[in-house]
Chain A
Amino acid sequence: MNIFRLAGDLSHLAAIIILLLKIWKTRSCAGISGKSQILFALVFTTRYLDLLTSFISLYNTFMKVVYIGCAYATVYLIYMKFKATYDGNHDTFRVEFLVVPVGGLAFLVNHDFSPLEILWTFSIYLESVAILPQLFLISKTGEAETITTHYLFCLGVYRALYLFNWIWRFYFEGFFDMIAIVAGVVQTILYCDFFYLYVTKVLKGKKLSLPA
């Protein structure tokens, strides 16, 4: 554990909680892609199956359970409790175009051809692109609520911090995991355009809106 890793995990946790609270407090999931949230629930489910097979630390177990629990709670709020506010007409990204190629890639490029390892690899690849339906929704509506942009910022910063964590671990522990690193770089790059808008607009007190 180093400072980048811890900060990354906390940023990830903050993102998840910001989104849950936003939906809960406003009683609305307008502007949120349910498809991205289903993908994140799938990511956590396939990645954390090792909860059943190995114990790493109390921290590790606690965070995994919280991430999974919050992911399903978010999906529940969007598709059940506040279904009437769900922006289905704009949330039209075809997720099969992500899940199918990612599933194929996980079979082809992995560390070990075993069920748990393939599912872990699948989750890493899927996480790197799971935000695309959300970014697509924002590009379609042309705007995002400020609280939604805070969510996206924390979520993007999380993987960027993990990149620093991996650099740290490579230098000080000789550890590297090529699958996680490449997927993490892809994931972070997908947020760059958003980071630019966040810094130039949201942090200056303006609403995030895209030119028509």
Chain B
Amino acid sequence: MNIFRLAGDMTHLMSVLVLLLKIHTIKSCAGISLKTQELYALVFATRYLDIFTDFISVYNTIMKLIFLGSSFSIVWYMRRHKLVRRSYDKEQDTFRHFFLVLPCLLLALVMNEKFTFKEVMWAFSLYLEAVAILPQLVLLQRTKNIDNLTGQYVFLLGAYRAFYIFNWIYRYFTEPHYVHWITWISGLVQTLLYADFFYYYFNSWKNNVKLHLPA
């Protein structure tokens, strides 16, 4: 474990907590894409298949349970909770996430570390996580006023993977044979997708104006 990875995990945890806080306290999911939340639930479900077979550490297991539990409960809230679901913007959140899942699955069948079920599912989860934010970014472009919690949620979600990139660089230089192109390329693409969001988020923070993405 290194400081970059710990910072990344904590930032990721914060993003999930910010979202749960928003949904649980003000019972609103305005501006949040259910499609992205469903994709994240699928990412964790396919990433953590080994949660009960390969024990890494208490920290690792607890974090996996938190990410699995929170992502599925957020989807449940947005689909089932009578108050929360009312604030869900179904008309605007129209990204057909099936067109993200299928290419990622096909790519995972071709590009993987080993052609076994677990390895293919693992590669699939990395490719899917890289693009899972797209429905959310599209929704942000459409909804004019982005509330602070939603902006913070997306920012933290993007920042966590950026920390992971520093973690991979650190591990590459400190651990022999630590080379994982699938993880690195997926993580880089994922972070680049946030580039313009980061740009507008930073500017809105600098000029102290409401976050507003150009149409």
Q: Do A and B bind? A: no
- Interface, chain B (partner A; CB < 8 A): none
